[in-house]
Structure 1
Amino acid sequence: MLADKVAAAGFYSVVPDFFRGDPFVNGNPDKPFHIWFKHHGYDQGFEDAKAIVKAIKGNGIREIGVAGKVNVELTKHACIEAGVLLHPSNVSIQDIRGVKVPISILGAEIDQFSPPKLVREFEDVLQKKPKVDSFVKIFPGVSHGWTIRYNDDDKLAVKSAEEAHNDMLYWFIKHLK
């Protein structure tokens, strides 16, 4: 759905299977999260993403934007031209200090992974980097994952998700077109 919105805005959209056909299934006693994550961690996602970016650039596309956690590493290594974090998780202040390309961080008011206080700290770090354009916003009344997992009957959730999607598209338009 989100990739479809990006494509509808005129971008070439790619949705890689970073889980390599092995998505995490909550409650699976044969493969608890800590075991599953050993084979699907962020380091592997970054390596996979670098190869995908290289392949896309090899096909003549020069301006690449990425949404999702893996883009933090891509922004730190300047592999892409713009990144968007929607309800970030497992992102540290040190990660944000390393960002070298424009980044937008869209956080949730109710988020145990990146609470508003941490997102504001990200913003403070980015404001000290005048050569890196940034945009940080915290959406009230929503929880971690709200941009992709929300109840269609919850008007606030739908409105917030659509607003975040539009913010993401604006960011990509601003930095990639």
Structure 2
Amino acid sequence: MGIDCLSNPPILNASTGVGYVTNIAGVNSYVTGSPLAILAIVLISDVYGFKPPLLRKIADKVANHGYFVVVPDFFHGEPYNKENASRPFDPWLKDHDPAKGIETAKPIIEALKRKGASAVGVAGFCWGARTVTKLGKAKLVQASVLLHPSYITVDDIRGVEVPIAILGAEHDSLSPPKLLKQFKQVLDAKPEIDSYVKIFANVSHGWTVRYDPNDPKAVKAAGKAHKIMINWFDKHLKK
């Protein structure tokens, strides 16, 4: 596991955002946007979970475009906490295997569809990307976005069956540009699946969700990625 994933840890105990926390399919989730919206977006966090204020701000931003947005607590109250010396990262990750995130995601997506969602988009940051690709393989969602993904292989991308956008960083040991270019090659060979791959210059892993809000350049770079994500959902869900 690269050090990239653990750099710039956010505040974990903040209760911010214009939405609220509720239970969906047995999972505490931050929700925002009109409950009457017929299009839903699920945001799957990095290892720091669903509480960081910047993640909730992103959810609020997406909701402003007419979506009901859900940010589930995939770690069931146990996000990674860098300050907890008694719980090193490797054993934590073993208990929170990114390959198993789909087991939490499926019932949430089913619940959203039962509530009237006609289409569901999903975006994953870092840890969350593995779940997004699995959902895309199983055609359980209608559009997907990966932001600085971790634990993703070329085979994972080869199996995706829904529109996918991949936003990567120039400086990223977990998904280096070389790997992202391989993802693009695989997707270009599947023209029936709409795809988009972009490598952002001068940014590092985590730049879309763990940026310094007081740094104008960092805010601008993150904002560009958020805009691409929202445009991707607009293109594939608002038909």
TM-score band, normalised by shorter chain: over 0.9
Q: Distance in 1 between matches of 2:215 and 2:180?
A: 25
Which amino acid in structure 2 is aligned with residue 35 of structure 1? P
Q: Distance in 2 between matches of 1:148 and 1:106?
A: 12
Q: Could you say which residue in structure 2 is the equivalent of 1:151?
A: 212
Q: Distance in 2 between matches of 1:43 and 1:91?
A: 10
Q: Could you say which residue in structure 1 is the equivalent of 2:13?
A: none
Q: Could you say which residue in structure 1 is the equivalent of 2:64?
A: 8
Q: How does 1:133-152 map to 2 (within 5 A)?
A: 133-152=194-213
Give 1:29 deviation, angstroms: 3.2
Q: Which has the higher helix share?
A: 1
Of 22, 27, 37, the match for 2:78: 22
Q: Distance in 2 between matches of 1:153 and 1:12?
A: 28
Which runs of structure 1 show a deviation greater than 3 angstroms over 4 or more consecutive aligned residues?
A: none
Q: Could you say which residue in structure 2 is the equivalent of 1:167?
A: 228
Q: Distance in 1 between matches of 2:70 and 2:213?
A: 25
Task: After superposition, give the CA deviation of every residue in 1:40-71 in whole Å (9 maximum; x if it has no partner).
Answer: 11233111001111111111212110010121
Task: After superposition, give the CA deviation of every residue in 1:151-175 in whole Å (9 maximum; x if it has no partner).
Answer: 2233322111000000000000000
Which amino acid in structure 2 is aligned with residue 48 of structure 1? T
Of 99, 102, 105, the match for 1:49: 105
Which amino acid in structure 2 is aligned with residue 139 of structure 1? F
TM-score (norm 1): 0.96
Gaps of 5+ in 1: none
Which amino acid in structure 1 is aligned with residue 212 of structure 2? N
Task: After superposition, give the CA deviation of every residue in 1:58-104 in whole Å (9 maximum; x if it has no partner).
Answer: 11212110010121110011110000001111110000000000000
Give 1:27 deviation, angstroms: 4.9
Q: Distance in 1 between matches of 2:216 and 2:179?
A: 27
The alignment yields a C-alpha RMSD, in angstroms, of 1.1
Q: Distance in 1 between matches of 2:216 and 2:147?
A: 19
Give 1:4 deviation, angstroms: 0.7
Which amino acid in structure 1 is aligned with residue 59 of structure 2? A
- Count of aligned pairs: 177
Q: Distance in 1 between matches of 2:157 and 2:100?
A: 19
Of 116, 126, 134, the match for 1:60: 116
Q: Which has the higher strand share?
A: 2
SS at match of 2:200: strand
Q: Could you say which residue in structure 1 is the equivalent of 2:170?
A: 109
Task: After superposition, give the CA deviation of every residue in 1:105-152 in whole Å (9 maximum; x if it has no partner).
Answer: 000011110011111110110000011000111110000000011122
Q: Distance in 1 between matches of 2:85 and 2:217?
A: 35
Of 144, 154, 159, the match for 1:93: 154
Q: Percent identity?
A: 53
